[in-house]
A = this chain, B = another copy of it.
């Protein structure tokens, strides 16, 4: 089955990265190939020197929402969820070449969970007519 799931990660906050990782793990467990293009602030989060830090929460919560106790806010296990997705199935994580250039991040400074570099065109080619989800 060729139901590739394609994720474009833009956000560098722990809650959105976790939402993405959960989708990826779910798809991988269903034997769907998963392509991930890591851009902008998500790319920044995948640097070796950052990836284990507390990345904070997005501003998609309202003020009252951010005051609610969130289990494990300080360490939402998003990276662990991505690692699990890789173990469960076929997931490839690409660093977006355009964002590497914009942010001045080179491939060697990224965590080894990132598999390769790719431009948007390459990513879209691999995506085919599979779903694309921007997070």
Which A positions have Cβ atoms within 8 angstroms of B? 3, 5, 8, 10-13, 15-16, 19, 22-23, 25-27, 29-30, 32, 39-41, 44-45, 50, 53, 55-56, 58-65, 68-72, 76, 98, 101-104, 119-121, 123-125, 127, 129, 131-135
- Pick from B23, B61, B101, B124: contact of A124, CB under 8 Å: B23
> How distant is A95 from chain B, measured CB to nearest CB, in Å?
14
| Copies of this chain, count | 3
Output the nearest chain B residue to A56 by Cβ-Cβ distance.
B62
Output the nearest chain B residue to A43 by Cβ-Cβ distance.
B65
What CA separation (Å) do A11 and B19 show in the bound complex?
A: 11
> How distant is A106 from chain B, measured CB to nearest CB, in Å?
13
